[in-house]
Copies of this chain bind each other. A is one copy, B any other.
Amino acid sequence: MLYVIGLGLSDEKDITVRGLEAVRGCSRVYLEYYTSILTVSIDRLSEFYGKQVIPAYRETVELESDEILRDADKEDVAFLVAGDPLSATTHTDLILRASSLNIPTQVIHNASILAALGSTGLQLYNFGQTLSLPFYTDTWTPGSWYDRLEENLRVGMHTAILLDIKVREQSEENMARICFTAPRETPLRTSAISSGPLFPPSPSPALRVIVIPVNRDLILHSPSFLEAILPSLSPSLSPSLSPPSTPLSPREYQQRSVSLWVPADTAPHSPGADSSTNLPDS
């Protein structure tokens, strides 16, 4: 059996009981380690599970999946994914490969950033399509995400914009050379300058999601909701006004975006250190 198991949004205790039992019964445990950065180290996960966790980089999953699936028809193998395994980065390819080899699979769902957007106080029913804001380079400044944002605004929907993250692929050059370095994130301030007033400067180097709210439920209950819920979220996830502490009128508030971000103090983001996110590598 190949178990594809979501780890949730924060640390080793966000796995479900069902997921933990599955992991503990597996002979090999892989962690998808190239589309997100966890708040918790591989050593701490290994200790909690009582199993050595093997980091699976992009080249392992995309080119060497035979090794992950080896003997999975005779024994149990776990493939761990931050957040929910079928929500952002979906790894359907691995499930299809297992299926073609007649290896049974089981998906164990968990909290996804796409559902945790409810932490902003906005009703998830009122979100339109989710956007990814890719890294800009000197030769590539994609604008298609902005057209999608306009489509959402036109039908009165909120928009969640996921920010790109490069876990190891620092440049096209080192991807080609298979030479990787420490994680980095979308330089939001740069995007903000080029995209107009909707985008705030990043309140934190660990900012991962921008939410653009559109309709009246934000005015009706979100300011007080945000105030109430800010201290109540699990350590890696806090909604924040941007800039965080500015008092806003309801009208101004509606025109601002809300950010879901990882507070720097709970998720130190130094090169090589583990940090927190649940975002896809787009």
Contact = CB atoms under 8 A, between A and B. Distances in A.
B130 A129 contact: no
Interface in A123-177: 123-132, 151, 155, 157
Interface stretch (A28-36, A55-63, A90-98, A186-194): A90-98
A105 B123 CA distance: 19
A35 to B, nearest CB: 14
A112 B126 CA distance: 16
A208 interface: no
Contacts of A104: 231-232
Contact of A124 (B109, B114, B119, B233): B114
A157 B98 CA distance: 29
Given A95-B232, A107-B234, A126 B124 contact: no
Copies in the complex: 2
Contacts of A234: 18, 106-109
Chain A contact patch, size range: 35 or more
Interface stretch (A5-13, A37-45, A240-248): A5-13
A124 B15 CA distance: 22
Nearest to A222: B92
A70 interface: no
8 contacts: A15-B17, A92-B229, A95-B225, A99-B229, A104-B231, A108-B234, A109-B234, A114-B114
Interface of A: 4, 6, 8-10, 12-18, 20-21, 84, 86-88, 90, 92, 95-96, 98-99, 104-112, 114-116, 118-119, 121, 123-132, 151, 155, 157, 221, 224-225, 227-229, 231-234, 237
